Each structure stands twice: as C-alpha cells, then as structure tokens.
Chain A
C-alpha cells in the first residue's frame, strides 16, 4: 500500500470538505427551515466537517466533538442533522477513495476502513444526543412529580390536596405517600382531596382514592373528597363505586365548611363596623369613577 487510506483522506481534505459541503447543502435544500438563517447553517456545516476531519485524523474522539454536539442539541436541531451529515461524509470519502488512482486497495477494504474511521463518531454523537434527551426527560419527570400531589396546609388541622390532570398508577402511588406524609407532618385532622381538575375518574382512580382515604382514617384523621363534578358523580354511580365510607362534597368551599365544623373551628368577622371586602372594592370603583 503506497499510502495509508487515512493519509489520502487527510491530504485531500480540502476537496473532500468541498464535496461534503455541496452534498449537505443539496440535502438540506429538501428540508430547509426558513427559521434558520443560511449563515448559521453554513457556519455549522463548516465547523461540523472540520470536527469530523479532526477526529478522523487523530483517530480518536475529540472534546470539540462533545461541545459541538451540545451546541447542536441546544439549537434544537434534530439528531438526523448529525447522522445524515456523517453518512454523507462516509459516502463522499468512499467515492473519493475508490476513484483515487494511487490506491491499490480492494473496494471492500475501503468500505471497512471508512466504517472504522467514521462509526465511532456516529456512536459518540448518538450517545451524547440521547443522553441529553434522557436528562431533559428525567428533569421534567422530577418537575412533574413535584407538581403531581401538592399539599397545602390551609389552617391548623386542615390540609388541602388539589389534584389536576390525569392520574396513572405511578402518580396514584405518589399521591398516597405524599398524603400520609403530609397529614403527619402538618398534624392534619382533616384533609380535603380536590378532584375538580381530574378529567376521568375510573375504577383505578376511585380505588386509589378509597385506599388513600382508608389509610388516612387509620392514622386517625379524616379525608373529605371534594370537587366532584356532576358528570363525574354520574359515572361513579354507573360504575357502582361505593364512596359512602367517607364524606364527599361537590365543592371545595362546602368541604372546607365541613372541615371547620369537624375541627370545631369557625371563621368569624372580627369587626362588623369595618368595611367588608366587597364594600371596599365598591368604594374603590366609585373613587375611580369620580
């Protein structure tokens, strides 16, 4: 072998870069996104091909590659931008080598050699890219979980858990744990579970609510289910689910009144001579008009 395949590639990098850039531009025409400026595309392409060459030359993965991938991810570009670019690079390199006259290597050997040079880069990019996605997804999961079963200690002894959105088995378990922890932590005598924002109450959700209410009862507190919309009330009845073991109320407001009674508390207006909030708002309205 007169010259090593890699050396031929590196020696002719100018030609190859040129060919690659043309091919990539051709390919990107099909999927041109008007939101991305032509300059950004061209600069990124140029940087990309230099990084590919850098890795090929050193036959090792450079840190440039990592930071480049990270930037492409932050730009929100698809993984296919990277994989297509590398596939094109393989094609350009193979075509170039096969047509190269100094070469006395068989075609299958060329193919294998180019694969060996480029595949590690592809693997690295895909790993980096999917790793970054997994990271994003797991952060969102944590964020969602924090939102999924909030507990609000409204007063001494009374705590509210407003539930919004779909409840799957994982969330149902989390609700149960959070509920029990919260009841103990806030010394709640009464806990109101508000299901106004739950779109469907099926047997699974109902079962978990019943179990949660039962568990709350076992640690000496009471659970009131509130926010039962009329259509949900009807489907629960149709399903034949028995919710009579614990108090239920149509609205949070009514549930809260019940909770106050159960904990021997009352909300009193301290000074009836003082203006009520409505009167205050009225007077503000009037003063604005005058």
Chain B
C-alpha cells in the first residue's frame, strides 16, 4: 500500500509528533472535535505501545474512501518482539508493564475498524480506520 506520510517513533516526544500530525490530518478530512480527540488518543496508544514494547517503529497515515464516505487509515508498524497471544492483549486490563491494560481494547472501541497482525520475533502491525460521519 502506498502511504502518504509516516512518523517515526523512536523517543517519547515522537508520540506527541504523531498524534499532532493525526489531529491536523483528521481535521482536514472533516472530522468533528470528538472524533479528532478519539483519533489523537488512538494514535497516542499505538505510538506509546511501539515506544514501550518494540523500542521503535512508525505510524503511517492515509486517506481512505468507500462508497461515498471518507476516512482516515492509521497503521502502526514495528519490528519488535511481537505479540504471542492476541486475544489476551485485547482483554481489558491485561498489561505486562503495570499499565491499565486499556490501550489496545480502547483503540478498538475508539475506531471503526481494527486489524492486528503479529508474529513473535518479527513484529506487529495494527491497522485502524475511522470514517467521517
């Protein structure tokens, strides 16, 4: 797939850069205030997971279209340790870092579409989409 822009995640402040970009991008696509906040928060979760668990990776942004509606597609890609049991990390409250464990299940609820592929030792790719209402 041909992504328009990617923001590299290496240090903690890159998370802020990624969500700022996502907020501006979603504003341009016509999302309202609440959805902008949802999108920015989802990016924050995905980017922080990359920073915490994979060390580095990137967040890519693209505009998507589907019979008359427009949306934002965000893909978080890393080549970190990967996730062994995906259904486990999608449970509310599961965390290996003493966090709330609300990040991934939260992102799923914040966005309209959510796909995760991961292979241990190879990395994780999470693709989410939100449609403009």
Contacts and interface: CB of A to CB of B under 8 A. Distances in A.
A144 to B, nearest CB: 13
A210 B102 CA distance: 14
Contacts of B27: none
Interface in B97-113: 99-100, 102-103, 105-106, 109-110
B45 A202 contact: yes
Given A169-B12, A200-B19, A200-B44, A240 B109 contact: yes
B41 A207 contact: no
B119 interface: no
Contacts of A241: 100, 102, 106
B40 interface: yes
B41 A201 contact: yes
B13 to A, nearest CB: 7
Interface in B69-108: 92, 99-100, 102-103, 105-106
B100 A166 contact: no
B38 A235 contact: yes
B39 to A, nearest CB: 10
B48 interface: yes
A238 B44 contact: no
B41 A235 contact: yes
Contacts of B36: 231
B6 interface: no
A232 B44 CA distance: 14
A230 B34 contact: yes
Nearest to B106: A239
Nearest to B16: A166
A173 to B, nearest CB: 13
Contacts of B45: 202-203, 239
B78 to A, nearest CB: 18
Contact of B33 (A200, A201, A202, A231): A231
Interface string A195-235: 00001111110110010000000000000000000111011
A232 B100 contact: no
Nearest to A234: B34
Q: Please indicate which of the listed interface residues A202, A206, A210 has the most CB atoms of chain B within 10 Å of its own CB.
A: A202
B12 to A, nearest CB: 5
A241 B102 CA distance: 7
B40 A239 contact: no
A203 B16 contact: no
A124 B131 CA distance: 56
A168 interface: yes
Nearest to B47: A202
Contacts of A239: 41, 45, 102-103, 106, 109-110
A165 to B, nearest CB: 10
B27 to A, nearest CB: 13
B7 interface: no
Q: Please indicate which of the listed interface residues A201, A231, A232, A238 has the most CB atoms of chain B within 10 Å of its own CB.
A: A238
A200 to B, nearest CB: 5
Contacts of A168: 12-13, 16
A238 B109 contact: yes
Interface in A223-261: 230-232, 234-235, 238-241
Interface string A178-209: 00000000000000000000011111101100
Interface of A: 166, 168-169, 199-204, 206-207, 210, 230-232, 234-235, 238-241
11 contacts: A168-B13, A200-B37, A203-B45, A206-B100, A232-B37, A234-B34, A234-B37, A238-B38, A238-B41, A239-B103, A240-B102
Given A200-B41, A207-B99, A241-B100, 6 more contacts: A202-B45, A231-B34, A231-B36, A231-B38, A238-B109, A240-B92
